[in-house]
Amino acid sequence: MTDREATIFGLALGAFGVWLMTRPREVAEGGSLWQSLLSSRISRDEATRYATAAGFQGDALAIVVAIAQAESGLRPLVIADNLTSGEASVRYRGDPPPEGVSSSDRGILQINDRWHPEVTDDEAFDPAAAFVAGYAVSHSGSDFTPWSTYKNGAYQRFL
Predicted confidence (pLDDT) per residue in 31-60, tens digit: 554 455 555 899 999 999 999 999 999 999
Amino acid at position 88, single letter? A
pTM: 0.76
Architecture of domain 42-158: Orthogonal Bundle (1.10)
Burial (0-12, 13-18, 19+ Cβ within 10 Å), 106: buried
> How much is the pLDDT for 122?
96
pLDDT per position as a tens digit, 74-104: 999 999 999 998 888 899 898 889 999 999 9
Inter-CA distances, 148 with 38, 105, 109, 111, 144, Å: 24, 11, 11, 11, 9
Per-domain boundaries in the chain: 1-40, 42-158
What CA–CA distances, in Å, run from 57 to 53, 92, 131, 144, 155? 9, 30, 12, 14, 17
State the Cα–Cα distance between residues 99 and 72, nearest whole angstrom: 22
- Please compute Rg for the chain using Cα positions: 18
Q: Which helix (H) or strand (E) holds 150?
A: helix 148-151
